[in-house]
Amino acid sequence: MTRWLTDDEQRTWRAFGPVLRLLVDRLDRDLRSAAGMPITYYELLVMLSEAPDRTLRMSELAQHTNSSPSRISHAVGKLEEAGWVRREHCAGDRRGWLAVLTPRGLAALKAAAPTHVASVRAHLVDVLTPAQVRQLGEISEALLAHLGPDSPETPD
């Protein structure tokens, strides 16, 4: 039997989807105009900057971004063209590839970060009360635990 959404649940659901799309679109436009990079590339550079030796397997990047290997390969190819990332073979794994953040990529990330933070602040954090920010964090963590790559529901 279908458990239909209540009026409150329906109102919440119908606001949630557009907000996600509008927020990501706004953050992307701000980064593109100020730093010349889409938000997806910024997120890849952040992941690499936080990884040991600023290096991750391509398969890990795909998993962390919920992307296909071909999509990650294309994105890393664009980052390579910009000189922000280089690819290397994995030692001991003929088929495996690593993405490595270059010094030029780290500099591009550092240059873009203030714009990204200002945009996140202007379009999310400063629009909410501190209590709402905490609630959003708790809600996001609950959803990530349910939907994320490490959730029990995620197929291997």
In a domain, 54, yes or no: yes
Band the pLDDT of 143: cuts 50, 70, 90: very high
Alpha carbons 2 and 25: distance in angstroms, whole number: 33
Alpha carbons 107 and 128: distance in angstroms, whole number: 31
Q: Give the 3-state secondary structure of residue 115.
A: helix
Give the strands of the sheet with 93-101, arranged side by side.
55-57, 93-101, 85-90
In a domain, 71, yes or no: yes
Band the pLDDT of 120: cuts 50, 70, 90: very high
- CA 131 from chain centre, in angstroms, equals 24
In a domain, 131, yes or no: no
In a domain, 93, yes or no: yes
In a domain, 106, yes or no: yes
In a domain, 30, yes or no: no
Q: What is the pTM of this model?
A: 0.87
In a domain, 94, yes or no: yes
In a domain, 138, yes or no: no
| Nearest residue to 38 (alpha-carbon basis) of 68, 65, 69 | 65
Domain extent, residue 107, equals 36-112
User: DSSP labels for 53-85?
Assistant: GGEEEHHHHHHHHT--HHHHHHHHHHHHHTTSE
Bridge partners of residue 57, in order along the sequence: 98
Please tell me the total count of domains within the chain. Answer: 1
Please report, for the domain that includes residue 52, its CATH number. 1.10.10.10
Band the pLDDT of 71: cuts 50, 70, 90: very high
pLDDT of residue 140: 93
Alpha carbons 21 and 18: distance in angstroms, whole number: 5
